[in-house]
Amino acid sequence: MAAAMDALAGFRAAIGATRVVTDAATCALYSQDVYRSGVPALAVLQPQDVTDVLALVRAARTSRTALHVRGGGMSYTDAYLPSESHSVIVDLSALKRIRTLSTVDMTVTAESGCTWAELDAALAPHSLRAKFWGPMSGARATLGGGMSQGAATFGSARHGTSASAALGFEVVLGTGDILDTARIGASSREAFFRPYGPDLTGLFTGDAGALGIKTAVTLQLEPRPSVRDSVSFAFDSFEALATTVAAVSRRGLATEMFGLETALARLAAGDAALAQDLGMLWQVVKAQHGLGAALRQLLRMARGGRRFLSGSTYIGHFLCEAHDARRLALDLQELRSIATQHGREVANSMAAVVQAQPFPAPMVVGPAGRRLLPLHVILPHSAAAAFHAEFIALRAREIARCEEHRVCMFVVFAAVGPSALLYEPVIYWEDEWLPLHAATLPAELQAALKPAAANPEGRAYVERLRVEIVELMHRHAGAHLQIGRAYPYLQNRSPAFVSLLRQLKTELDPLHLINPGALGLQP
């Protein structure tokens, strides 16, 4: 108790008493992620700028207090959850400034608490956007979190993950120093060219926050496309879908590709009614370029309705953009020629909604208010079919136990660059909500979606499934985003690899206070 009081006194002296929040409810809430709860932190620290972050790191060194850095709180891999009580949560949400923007050099430097949606809105008046411009949870997910954990969605089919847009980071190290990973010499010029010697910026992408606290990010920008459209296809098999995605990926015809089992779409349609919701339809209309385009899109959606949810196994959505209508038409024509070899075109309702409203309110629960746990593995296209076959066999073996524990599993996918497929098994189960779920869901969704009664047996079964599925992913030598503490990053690595990473951690964070345990780097 004395150590905790001393630590809190040190933090209050460092950043001010009002920025050290200690009430039990807040500490418990910030010590949760979408999947589960960690050990409640001593406090939630709310720095206002990089000077505050430096001060709290130095105070943490004095009191030997672990610092767990939280972005938008959308993790499901224990990325920032405390595992011991002598810990604090560092909430960077106040660090939102856009420090510099160069429309000539096509770069922007923004603080790490800025959300992807906020950055995109700030760049829109300049007809620019980041090369990777956010995950679907970008209304809450932050730049710092997206870079530390790795993120995919918008721009991913063409450019890859969030790491592809990073030019440089400002990082507060566990030594109490500031590192600029790509600034040249003593210049005040922001990062503009990443591959100058060893790639220190790359070292901090996807580090799960284990190597330091990112306080600012410099991103590569691109012109915002002036025209866009989308197509959706139904497929009778995963092989047909995967073959199509691989072919479209190789040709770079789509900026985003994602999809799901139609069984999941049918389950969700009972709640969401995306194509028939008037508010969502209005968003789709507003997003179209001109009245004629809006009317054509509405006609497609009205004709298609939800008929595409029957008679097929998978649905794939392909979002395309270009700088002129001719280029867009050619890309769509080529994409259709590929996809019609393996599937049939259906109403693009969901794709149109995503293009119209890319950053919706985060859905931290599933259909009918079920709890959810999304897992994922990134595989080369050539290896996706073998993994899929084993996952489907695992799911078939578990049917009886899933029914017993009120659990169901579905497959979601997305394309990541020209070479890889992100394969995402999503587990849903009936259970009570965590405070984070209620705090995150908008009021209108809370009115429509209700938690179930506590289901501890189902929860334990889901954890067993999680471990088994992650082991399957590891056997197939898959890669991951959002590594956190959930994926076996160090398992089966060479001794030289593990030794180098541990030495880096110790060099940058000698007391192992920043996100201890992330990446499997135990103190």
More confident residue, 517 or 284: 517
Q: At what angle do helices 238-251 and 325-339 cross, to 10 degrees?
A: 150
Residue 442 is predicted with a pLDDT of 87
- Fill in the DSSP letter of residue 362: P
Residue 261, both tokens: 């089992």
Q: Contact 417/479 with Cβ under 8 angstroms?
A: no
pLDDT of residue 163 exceeding 50? yes
Query: What amino acid is encoded at 394 in this protein?
Result: L
**Residue owning tokens 């008929």:** 307
Which structural domains are found in the chain, ordered by start?
2-94 (3.30.43.10), 98-223 (3.30.465.10), 227-356 (3.30.70.3450), 367-475 (3.30.70)
Q: What confidence tens digit (pLDDT) does each residue in 479-523 have?
A: 999 999 999 999 999 999 999 999 999 999 999 999 999 999 987
Percent of the chain with pLDDT over 90: 82
Beta bridge partners of 59: none
Q: Contact 161/130 with Cβ under 8 angstroms?
A: no
Q: Kindly report the CA angle at 68 between 180 and 474, in degrees rounded to 5?
A: 90
Beta bridge partners of 318: 231, 257
Q: Contact 23/44 with Cβ under 8 angstroms?
A: no
Each residue of 267-294: b (16+ CB within 10 Å) or e?
Answer: bbbeebebbeeeebbebbbebbeeeebe
User: Against a cut of 0.85, is the pTM above it?
Assistant: yes
| Arithmetic mean of pLDDT, 199-227 | 97
Residue 301, both tokens: 């959606």
153 Rama sector, left if φ>0, alpha if ψ -120 to 50, beta otherwise = left
Beta bridge partners of 110: 98, 217
Residue 302 is predicted with a pLDDT of 46
Q: Contact 484/518 with Cβ under 8 angstroms?
A: yes
Q: Contact 143/112 with Cβ under 8 angstroms?
A: yes
Query: How many angstroms separate the CA atoms of 369 and 80, rounded?
Result: 25
pLDDT of residue 300 exceeding 80? no
More confident residue, 299 or 263: 263
The model's confidence at residue 306, banded by pLDDT at 50, 70 and 90, is low
More confident residue, 319 or 190: 319
Query: How many angstroms separate the CA atoms of 159 and 418, rounded?
Result: 8
Q: Kindly report the CA angle at 134 between 325 and 306, in degrees rounded to 5?
A: 65
CB atoms within 10 A of CB 185: 5
| Arithmetic mean of pLDDT, 241-267 | 93
Cα dihedral sign, 329-334-336-339? negative
Query: How many angstroms separate the CA atoms of 383 and 458, rounded?
Result: 31
pLDDT of residue 420 exceeding 80? yes
pLDDT of residue 269 exceeding 50? yes
| Arithmetic mean of pLDDT, 372-394 | 97
In degrees rounded to 5, what are phi and psi of residue 462? -60, -40
Residue 70 is predicted with a pLDDT of 95
Residue 275 is predicted with a pLDDT of 38
Residue 310 is predicted with a pLDDT of 60
